[in-house]
Amino acid sequence: MQLYQQIKSKNEKIAVIGLGYVGMPLAVAFAKKVDVIGFDLSDKKIGFYKSGIDPTNEVGNDAIRSTTVDFTSDETKLREAKFHIIAVPTPINTDKTPDLSPVVGASTTVGRNLCKGSIVVYESTVYPGVTEDICIPILEQESGLKCGVDFKIGYSPERINPGDKVHTLQKITKIVSGIDNESLEEISKVYELVIEAGVHKATSIKVAEAAKVVENSQRDINIAFMNELAMVFDRMEINTKDVIEAMNTKWNALGFTPGLVGGHCIGVDPYYFVYEAERLGYHSQIILSGRKINDGMGEFVGDAIIKKLILANKIVRQAKVVILGVAFKENCPDIRNSKVVDIITRLNEYDITPIVVDPQADPSEAKYEYNLDLAELESIKNADCLVFAVGHDEFIKLDKNQIDNMFGDFENNEKVIIDVKNILNKKEIETVGYSYWSL
């Protein structure tokens, strides 16, 4: 426990590499106990943090202003630390194969600044084998050191749920693994400094890597099942929410609901698992089928919008459609891999350019990522159709008058509401006479 004791006594430091939705809360949490260096390539992001601004909304501006994290984009500062946590994103390429370039880049950077006696822990989601087969050789090549002799390595998958203020970092059991028993014990003790829920010691690095991609693949498959049911119930003219409420009265119901599956975890991780399985000669059937269903939900919702516009006697190409929300989930500014964009793409095929509103998303990021100009909620007038795509609190709190004021001056049965997240009261909406559809 030599390194752990040195970190605890503040004779050695922890470095967190990658300060996004995962790395930043982790760095802030550790800084309450020990000395922490927070490194990120983005000077803009570092500038926000140094100014006391939390662009992720994960810990809030007050926590950023009061933290002792040494925020930097200078990689040579990493030489001051001996416990490195790599928490960079792992996206997918356009062909759905893993894009490991952020992990490779981070490994290269850490390797250049690695010293003897260090431990490197990866939190980025990867398929089993990446840490040992890809990352270790990079660290060794860049540092000139030997893994297992001069430095140790481990893997501890991130499990943070962005926007969730209940299941926070400290309250989620941390899976930890190490290249040997000594590193496993050191890594466990370090994480136990901040993880109140405790740690689960995986039997190997590959087991820990697999646990991460499998837990998200499991959720993806269950949501895909509910999405398939929703598409069938739509043809049967049965309300999916009503069915789910009835089903959930049984004690062993799982409680999943249909929806758009985007973001940087559930919509991505299954492809990492499938990629490695296929490399080993196994073609996934269930996982890929679930992904196909979930990847098609944006198009399905887009078609539902067109159908409701036609039934409301609207000229489709002239319809003013307003989409409320572009983040990948409620009460979160993260727009990475947002499937709301698939709805927009489908509407574009009908020559509809919808107005998009998201009070939590960064307008500059929306413009850069998707070429979207976000509108203010208060500016919405004369709409033909409102699409509640994300369950932000700002949208849930809208009352009937506020909703009505966003529509044009025409009969209520010509006012279309698409409730993707089932956040509205169906009976109240239909009592008013709106044309209503929910997933």
Q: How far apart are CA 242 and CA 4, in angstroms?
A: 53
Domains of the chain: 2-202 (3.40.50.720), 203-293 (1.10.1040.10), 296-439 (3.40.50.720)
pLDDT of residue 1: 60
pLDDT of residue 396: 95
User: Does 385 participate in catalysis according to the annotation?
Assistant: no
pLDDT of residue 263: 81
pLDDT of residue 104: 97
Cα–Cα distances in Å, from 128 out to 142, 176, 205, 209, 423? 23, 14, 8, 5, 38
pLDDT of residue 267: 86
Q: Single out the residue of 68, 108, 74 nearest to residue 88, CA to CA.
A: 108
Take residue 32 and report the two structure tokens written for it. 């309450």
pLDDT of residue 109: 98
Task: Give bridge partners of residue 323 from the DSSP assignment.
Answer: 356, 387
Query: What is the model's pTM?
Result: 0.91
Active-site choice (115, 135, 147, 265): 265
pLDDT of residue 265: 83
Compute the radius of gyration of the chain from its Cα atoms: 24
Q: Single out the residue of 261, 256, 424 nearest to residue 338, CA to CA.
A: 261
pLDDT of residue 150: 96
Helices (H) and strands (E) in the chain, counts: 18, 14
Average pLDDT of adjacent 10-residue blocks, the chain of 439 residues: 91 96 94 97 95 90 96 97 96 92 97 97 96 98 96 93 75 95 96 95 97 93 96 94 94 93 87 92 93 96 97 95 95 92 97 96 93 96 97 94 93 95 90 93
Take residue 282 and report the two structure tokens written for it. 């196994």
pLDDT of residue 56: 86
pLDDT of residue 153: 98
Take residue 88 and report the two structure tokens written for it. 């960079």
